[in-house]
Amino acid sequence: APFRPLPFLPEAHAERTPGARLQKLRRAALEAREAFVSEGPVAAVSTCDLITFPYPTLFAFSGAALSPAPYVMMTNRMQVVQFAEAGTGQRRTLLFNPTDFERGYAAPFYRALRERYGAFLSDKVMSTRHGTVQSHLESLGLTPSDVDYLAFDHLHIQDLRGWLGGAGAPAVFPRAKLLVQRTEWAMVKHLHPMQSVWFVPGGTEIPEDRVVLLDGDTWLGQGAALLSTPGHTQGNTSLAVATANEVFVVSENGVSTESYTPLLSRIPGVRRFAEQMGWEVVLNGNTREDSLDQYTSMVVEKLFAGPSAHDASFVNFHPSSLLTSHLLAPGLGPTVVLPPPNTGALHPTPAVRRAA
């Protein structure tokens, strides 16, 4: 793939001491952002809601949110990104977080949740389906053959076999390659018992020739990059998209933009927790594998994104699974919801490439 590293960030990541690494990455994130924006905006991006689902309140704000409700509600979203490839200028199509949520129920955590509450409550009360990956593509005038790349912020609850083939099954996306951090791919092949609850058994058993391994921060093309943001998982990745007047950053390190400005949160307990701990960000804490790295990665996301053009008090961070107001989660709605990443016009792949 004709990708290149983002500048400044690799040297800062190489610092071994966590506190010193954070300070170096603060500076590097701003320098990398300036270089990223200078090459111009992305061709187009569209955000698509997939499913609203329950998620333990204990995890959403690392135990800071004070509520008797056991679950917050979150809406999983996909970004369809088209960018001009470096060197050739050809328009490429990336799906970021195209979750196959029906297959994702096989992850042990959500399988147990469905067994506890039953199919009716799980499917009709505690979750809402907004559309599948395929139906959203169709509504945008695209087909699976138009897609060049798939990428995920991390591989929790993902089953890639339907999309990319496996166990003799045909692939929905005939040309697409998976972009994934080398560290994430190595991790899912040898899961620790404390990690396994979040992963679909066998979900990454796809042909290796469909996989492109990335080593750190990767500039995909004009206005589009994948940032290395380890912590939530070892190979966590954030999408960065530059438009004409702002930069969007997407991941699941935080569940809302106020995770990055907790002193502005109106969710009971969050502000007080951040003040008491002296934290500038509050982690989405369902994993504790690398919390220092996750905190540092959230600071990188915060600085790379910058302020929202909609409300400059908040960071232009957009969770891949967005905290969502819901009757089942009183007091746990977001303080603010920023307009989702949408810009430009998506175009189908030229017929010659589609035939190839």
Both tokens of 61, joined, read 């704000």
Residue 81 counted as domain residue: yes
Beta partners for residue 54, in sequence order: 73
Examine residue 88 and state whether it is found in any structural domain, yes or no.
Answer: yes
Q: Does residue 9 belong to any structural domain of this protein?
A: yes
- Of residues 124 and 179, more confidently modeled: 179
Averaged confidence pLDDT in the chain: 95
Angle in degrees, 0-180, between the axes of helices 18-38 and 291-305, rounded to the nearest 10: 30
pTM of the full structure: 0.96
CATH of the domain at 295: 3.60.15.10
Q: Is residue 347 part of a domain?
A: no
Q: pLDDT band at residue 349, thresholds of 50, 70 and 90?
A: confident
Domain holding 290, by residue range, is: 4-324
Sort 104 into a burial class: Cβ within 10 Å, 0-12 / 13-18 / 19+.
buried
Question: How does DSSP classify residue 170?
Answer: P
Q: Please answer whether residues 11 and 87 qualify as being in contact, where contact means their C-beta atoms are separated by less than 8 angstroms.
A: no
Query: Of residues 288 and 211, which shows the higher confidence score?
Result: 211
- For residue 288, pLDDT beyond 90: no
Task: Please return the burial class of 275, using the count of CB atoms within 10 Å of its CB with bins 0-12, 13-18 and 19+.
Answer: exposed
- The CA-CA-CA angle for residues 338, 344, 348, to 5°, reads 125
The string of pLDDT tens digits covering residues 201-244 is 999 999 999 999 999 999 999 999 999 999 999 999 999 999 99
Q: What percent of the chain has pLDDT over 70?
A: 98
353 within domain boundaries: no
| Count of domains observed in the chain | 1
- Let me know if residue 331 belongs to a domain: no
Q: Which residues contact 170 (CB under 8 A, 6 or more apart)?
A: none
Q: Is 213 helix (H, G, I), strand (E, B) or coil?
A: strand
Whether 343 is in a domain gets the answer: no
- How far does CA 295 lie from the centroid of its chain? 16
The answer to whether position 12 is within a domain reads yes
Asked whether 13 and 218 are in contact (CB, 8 A), the reply is no
- Spatial distance between the Cα atoms of 125 and 73, rounded to a whole number of angstroms: 11
Residue with tokens 């390659």: 177
Confidence at residue 350, expressed as pLDDT on a 0 to 100 scale: 79
Tell me the residue ranges of DSSP E strands in the chain: 4-5, 44-56, 71-84, 91-96, 128-129, 149-151, 177-181, 211-214, 218-221, 224-228, 237-242, 247-251, 317-319, 321-324
β-sheet with 224-228: strand ranges across: 4-5, 218-221, 224-228, 237-242, 247-251, 317-319
Residue 118's pLDDT is 94
At 114-150, the pLDDT tens digits run 999 998 999 889 999 999 999 999 999 999 999 999 9
